[in-house]
């Protein structure tokens, strides 16, 4: 339409007359179409029963409902909605634990796929930094002074300190300065190495000891029951007491065959469940 009007403003008088005729023809075409469309709409409405609502339904589509899951605050979601958002099994036993760690920013989704958050709960926890950050966030939630007390500089002496990403340093610093993670015999922190179940048992025992010293929690110190595992003989000597401690306090259990699987990796859902269980016993 703008293009036609532009032509009318240019050229000779003869041209203007020609263009004026074309403009009138175009307008007649649109007016005729508008009348026809109006008649068609009226005819369509007349063919419908009187009780049919011709307005657009207010019911949300499945896609709209799903998108709402990603705009709502997690705490406002039902368990079913939460499970759908984070792709958890329906009515899963660990939903309360996952809700606890996510809603309290202790463990966060691992990333995004097609704009949606995902958390591979049954995958192994990524690395030592992942566990360190979860413990750091857990301690900070329990008592901010716990983490503030262990923000020293000694960790910078570790040979691989500079390999730690800036965002991962608070968690690793807390765990190193508090003695929860001390590195290997060569003082390497190995921040992005995987963490085995027996290593995690040691780390967990040290973390709970820290909470006990701060008067935040009380646990049994019995370390005499690890022979119950069918693979107890494969436990590293340095891990036996910690594994027994975790077993006694029902923090870590064996598999369906009674094996502890000491060299297997701790899974994200197991880490979440442990931290949730601890939260239920904080004084």
Question: 66 pLDDT exceeds 70?
Answer: no
pTM of the model: 0.72
CB–CB of 145/213 below 8 Å? no
Q: What average pLDDT score do residues 161-185 get?
A: 95
How would residue 261 be classed by pLDDT, with cut points 50, 70 and 90? very high
CA distance 206 to 65: 44
Tokens standing for 124?
A: 């192994």
- Domain spans of the chain, in order of start: 2-47, 62-118, 128-279
The pLDDT > 90 percentage for the chain reads 48
Question: 26 pLDDT exceeds 50?
Answer: no
pLDDT for residue 126:
72
Q: Which of 128, 123, 99 is nearest to 110 (CA)?
A: 123
Tokens standing for 189?
A: 């922190």
195-218 residue pLDDT tens: 999 999 999 999 999 999 999 999
| Mean pLDDT rounded to a whole number for the chain | 78
70-100 residue pLDDT tens: 778 888 999 999 888 888 889 988 899 999 9
């Amino acid at each position: 339409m703008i293009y036609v009007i532009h032509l009318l403003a240019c050229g000779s008088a003869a041209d203007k007359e020609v263009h004026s005729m074309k403009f009138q023809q175009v307008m007649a075409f649109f007016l005729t179409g508008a009348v026809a469309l109006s008649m068609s709409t009226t005819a369509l409405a007349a063919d419908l029963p009187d009780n049919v609502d011709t307005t657009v339904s207010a019911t949300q589509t499945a896609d709209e409902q799903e998108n709402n899951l990603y705009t709502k605050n997690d705490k406002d979601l039902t368990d079913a909605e939460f499970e759908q958002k984070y792709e958890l099994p329906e009515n899963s036993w660990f939903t309360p634990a996952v809700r606890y760690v996510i809603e309290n920013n202790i463990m966060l989704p691992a990333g995004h796929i097609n704009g949606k958050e995902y958390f591979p709960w049954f995958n192994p926890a990524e690395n030592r930094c992942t566990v360190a950050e979860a413990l750091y966030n857990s301690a900070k939630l329990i008592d901010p002074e716990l983490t503030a007390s262990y923000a020293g500089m000694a960790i910078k002496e570790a040979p691989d300190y500079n390999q730690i990403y800036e965002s991962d340093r608070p968690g690793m610093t807390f765990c190193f300065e508090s003695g929860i993670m001390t590195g290997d015999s060569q003082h390497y922190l190995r921040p992005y190495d995987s963490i085995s179940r027996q290593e995690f048992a040691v780390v967990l025992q040290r973390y709970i000891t820290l909470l006990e010293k701060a008067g935040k929690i009380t646990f049994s110190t019995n370390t005499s029951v690890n022979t119950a595992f069918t693979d107890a003989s494969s436990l590293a000597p340095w891990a036996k007491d910690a594994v027994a401690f975790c077993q006694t306090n029902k923090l870590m259990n064996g598999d369906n065959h009674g094996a502890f699987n000491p060299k297997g990796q701790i899974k994200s859902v197991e880490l979440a469940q442990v931290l949730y269980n601890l939260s239920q016993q904080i004084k």
